[in-house]
Chain A
Amino acid sequence: MALPARESPIGKSVSLFVTCIVDMIYPGTGLSVVDILEHVGVRVDFPPAQTCCGQPAFNSGYRDEARAVAKHFFKAFREAEVIVCPSGSCATMLRHVYPSLFAPDDGELYHQAQRIAAITWEFSEFLVDGLGIVDLDLSLPAAESFAFHDACHGLRGLGLGGASRELLRHLGKAQLTELNECEVCCGFGGLFSLKMPELSNAMLRNKVNNINESAADTIVTGDVSCLTQMNGGLSRRKSGKRVLHLADVLAKALQKERA
């Protein structure tokens, strides 16, 4: 299914959909996103009624529950001109899945789904494709090498990956290097990680091995859910390497600037 066309977001104010996991577990990543957006001159607001996009229900077959959460999302983001979300997976839910959950017969809900799909941007694509910014004019406090892990939904649902790499390439003192099988799933898969833990772990083991063998000091990705799986595996296996969200890497450079 083709993605709905979007208007240029330049000059518009941004409603941040921070995602449920960032809200509860990685609030610092949410602040990093806000810092970077404000750094490039974007006005950001946080619609306080927001919760989750509904993906856990949708992915496990519970369509009624997914629709109920989507309806709540429509209300929470009623006023939004542009939505930015620091997750390729949740952005795929908003862009691809919402329009498929409601039929033209659903009237207003159908239009709401279309509206949300047509104003939503994942964080890295908002900067690069939306605003046309690849160089944030920032530099890290010290040299560090990075490799990018392409989280599945962002890569295959939205065609992401290029934008994050561009931003890293233009970040001062950052060196971009390779991660073998960077496009292969880490094994998270939402409830898959709980329903089929041994398989999820086999995929994770493969990812951890590739991370350990990578020349990069730090792995960067665009989804905190995959990051949770990878860091959970790296930490359990006593690896010294960690995965960071792109926004946190960029914000590190911004903090140096401010200091």
Chain B
Amino acid sequence: MSVELKSNDFVALADIALRNPDLQRAVGAGTRGGYQKRAETMFARSREHGEHMRQQAAEAKRRALRKLPDLLETAERNLIANGWQVAWAEDAAEANQLVLDIARRHGVETVTKSKSMLSEELGVNHAMEAAGLRVVETDLGEYIIQLNNETPSHIVAPVMHKTKAEIRDIFVRELDMKPTDDAEEMVAFARKMLRDDFLKSDMGISGGNFLIAETGSIGLVMNEGNGRLCTSMPRVHIALVGIEKIVETVADYATLTQVLPSSSTGQKLTVYTNILNGPGRAAEGDGPEHSYVILVDNGRSQIYGSDYAEALTCIRCGACQNACPVYRSTGGHAYGWVYGGPIGAVLTPLLVGLENAQPLPHASSLCGSCKQVCPVDIDLPRMLLDLRRDLVRDGHSKVGWDTAMKLWAVGMTSAARFALGGKAARAGQHIMGDYMPGILGNWSKHRDFPDFAPKPFRQLWKERHERS
């Protein structure tokens, strides 16, 4: 299903998440587990080694970004040399049309899909279903999400927000599974259902974790093997790849394909680490007959030309989501579009327009843990602050805040006015007692507030020095 844009409702959506005890338990445990495992793997040899890997990975992605136009041309040439058919899509509508054209050309009825966040952004499932195709998500988490008509709530663990019991109920309701609380039995059941779909599939759709320019290959990581089945069994394979997924060399890929699983699931490598080189060759017994790469822009080149270009180096590991205390409290759906957590709070306004995602830059206490864990060291707090600046600049801030900040700055640019403000605050508190007016009431809802001191420090300092 295509994703509805509700990012301006962040506060209301977050409140819903905060009141959902199952979600609180599931996301709280999932994120903390991921955070812990990441630290164990990244720093298995030493903290220095882990930090060095991060800087090496960041350097590889930043270099690729600097050379993006050239590398895309190199990649296209080398992809074609490998037998891929390459198409370019400027936006979601173009990408979806290309997918439908390919499906029609090859008489496709059933499509199996491996996990791709870009495909969520494009709403390609919705487009294919509207055209009468049968689409099956084959990543276990995505499969559950699709059955329940939801969107993924986490970049690598799409169903993190659900408890085991909720997933059992979905399988029972949608697929008549014999009720069980045994996770392995549930997985075996899903595997059996999916096996049929794999055998029927005419076309596989995958994303691409990396596009290696020097060899014209797609790097794909996964743990369930479903992606390998999607990209090798059906007659046709389409890889949907964002233009920012490019890396220059195989050596860069080797670095990144280690930090990605370390940062996301705490694995040194994923169970399946694939380099795809186009259709099956004549001498090979398997592989698709037709391999396509659709290189998708969908707003990325606009980010490329902005102060936020570094956001394009994101490798979608989900570490910032696991580390973020806001995401830990809400899960991903509260962010109201495809990407949740700190990277979502930055990417969403950049991709859908700041006016359509106004609360997201403020959905952070600026604690900085996102940057700390980011495998490519994206300065997400800096970008959140700059987006807040843009909100003010573009007139998206509330008039009340504009006035309050102007007055505040007047008060803070003179010691006399500052001291007077302090006295006024103390007098106000004296009159009001525990009641705090206006937005200040948001403080006293959940916390007590200390008393303003009878004498401010500046006065105590003066008295101390008059005594001596």
Binding site for B on A (CB under 8 A): 18, 20, 22-28, 30-31, 34, 46, 48-52, 54, 56-65, 68-69, 71-72, 76, 152-153, 155-157, 183-185, 187-190, 192-204, 206, 228-229, 231-233, 235-236
Contacts and interface: CB of A to CB of B under 8 A. Distances in A.
Interface stretch (B175-183, B248-256, B271-279, B382-390): B382-390
Given A52-B412, A187-B365, A189-B365, A236 B450 contact: no
B425 interface: yes
A197 B362 contact: no
Nearest to A192: B365
Given A59-B385, A184-B369, A199-B326, 8 more contacts: A24-B426, A71-B413, A189-B364, A192-B365, A195-B439, A199-B18, A200-B446, A228-B450
Contacts of B330: 199
What are the 10 tightest A-B residue pairs by CB atom distance, in nearest-first order? Answer: A189-B365, A232-B447, A61-B388, A185-B367, A156-B368, A27-B457, A197-B442, A65-B409, A152-B367, A30-B457
Interface size class of B (residues with CB under 8 A): 35 or more
Given A61-B391, A236-B446, A24 B413 contact: no
Nearest to B413: A72
Interface in B67-108: none
Interface-centre pick from B329, B457, B458 (highest chain A CB count, 10 A): B457
Contacts of B329: 199, 202-203
Interface string B403-417: 001101101111100
12 contacts: A27-B460, A34-B464, A46-B457, A52-B412, A61-B392, A65-B405, A196-B11, A198-B15, A203-B325, A232-B450, A235-B447, A236-B448
Contact of A61 (B363, B390, B456): B390
Contacts of A236: 446-448
A25 B389 CA distance: 29
Contacts of B325: 184-185, 187, 203, 206
B450 A20 contact: no
A196 B362 contact: yes
B443 interface: yes
Contact of A232 (B367, B389, B415, B449): B449
Nearest to A185: B367
Nearest to B438: A194
A26 B453 CA distance: 7
Contacts of A231: 448, 450
Contacts of B326: 199, 203
Interface string B433-465: 000000110110111111111011111110010
Contacts of B30: none
Contacts of B459: 27
B364 A192 contact: yes
Given A23-B458, A26-B453, A72-B413, A57 B405 contact: yes
B418 interface: yes
Nearest to B410: A68
A72 B448 contact: no
Contacts of A30: 457, 460-461
Contacts of B364: 189, 192
Contacts of A31: 457, 460, 464
Contacts, number: 192
Given A152-B365, A201-B446, A204-B446, A23 B457 contact: yes
Main secondary structure on A side of the interface with B: helix
A50 B14 contact: no
A187 B442 CA distance: 13
A72 B363 contact: no
Interface centre among A31, A51, A152, A187 (most CB of B within 10 A): A51
Contact of A185 (B369, B425, B453): B369
B372 interface: yes
B134 to A, nearest CB: 40
A219 to B, nearest CB: 16
Given A25-B453, A60-B401, A232 B365 contact: no
A222 B126 CA distance: 52
A51 B415 contact: yes
Nearest to B15: A198
Nearest to A47: B415
B371 interface: yes
A216 B220 CA distance: 47
Contacts of A68: 409, 412-413
Nearest to B370: A156
Contacts of B365: 152, 185, 187-190, 192, 200, 203
A189 B457 contact: no
Contacts of B368: 152-153, 155-157
A72 B372 CA distance: 32
A65 B397 CA distance: 14
Nearest to B362: A195
A220 to B, nearest CB: 17
A24 B456 contact: yes
B55 to A, nearest CB: 13
Q: Which of B401, B405, B409, B414 neighbours the largest number of chain A CB atoms within 10 Å of its CB?
A: B409
B422 interface: yes
Contacts of B460: 27, 30-31
A206 B326 CA distance: 12
Nearest to B379: A1
A28 B460 CA distance: 9
B461 A46 contact: yes
B417 to A, nearest CB: 8
Nearest to A232: B447
Contacts of B387: 61
Contacts of B269: none
A69 B412 contact: yes
A157 B457 CA distance: 27
B1 interface: no
Interface in B215-242: none
Given A52-B412, A232-B448, A27 B442 contact: no
